[in-house]
Amino acid sequence: MKEIGKTLKDKREQMNLSLSDVHKATKVQEKYLAAIEEGDLDAFKDEVFYKSFLRSYSKYLGFDPEEFVELFNSQKREIERSPKSEEVSFCAVEKNIFNTKKIFIVVVAIIAVALLIIFVCLYRNMSKIAQAVESDNFKQIECESLPKEKIEDDATVMEQDEPYSEEKIPNAEASTRQNLEIEAKETVWIKVDIDGKAVYEGTLLKGGKKMWEVNNSFTLKLGYAPGVKVFFNGESVDVVSGAVQDVNTIILKKK
């Protein structure tokens, strides 16, 4: 459109006419005449006004007004088909795609952070649970490396060639014998020595009981002291005091 405006302006100046002179002759306001010469279509409310004023201005300067209108239409079509317009459209599409990618990346990042936080919380909770279980089980694992799964029938019972028992203590008067009774409140590993000789070593199941008699003394080792009740000559024995990690060794002697 600037080419059209330049042609009209050059012609007007050759004719020593001012915009005021053209306005007086055509009745077109000077601001619109100036806009035509500058190729400023935005100054017109509609394209039809531009064409109408263009006809009046070009006809006054001695041109064929329809040729200028056709030239305007031709240039307009070229602008609409120009690569620049397509490039602008492509850039707009590309910008929208880029913005969409940015939004997608942000969303993925937020989800990743949320999953990481959830994983850390779960890991900490699992660690606390594992520590609690390990701490609770530790009370019962100090059993000379013997597995808790062993049942009483599989327990290793160490009998001597001449085991100390009620029936096999020769010439022992009942009034001088020492009695040992163990009741299991929990499944627990125990070892019983009589005069330094092992007579029992194994796992006593919860609710189980064991009794021995001897003329002198017992040495009792408990894998989990709070899990048993011990009676010596009918009297309850404190087996928890002095325990280390709930493991205790107690010597019960003849009074």
Question: What confidence score (pLDDT) does residue 7 get?
Answer: 92
Instruction: Output the pTM of the full model.
Output: 0.34
Across-strand partners of 178? Answer: 214
pLDDT digit string, tens, across residues 164-215 = 444 444 444 555 788 899 999 999 999 999 988 899 999 999 999 999 988 8
Read off the tokens for 98.
């880029």
pLDDT digit string, tens, across residues 206-221 = 999 999 988 888 898 9
Q: State phi, psi for 120 to the nearest 5 degrees.
A: -65, -45
Read off the tokens for 187.
């499944």
**To the nearest whole percent, how much of the chain has pLDDT over 70?**
75
CB 141 within 8 Å of CB 135: no
CB 26 within 8 Å of CB 8: no
pLDDT digit string, tens, across residues 6-53 = 999 999 999 999 999 999 999 999 999 999 999 898 989 888 999 899
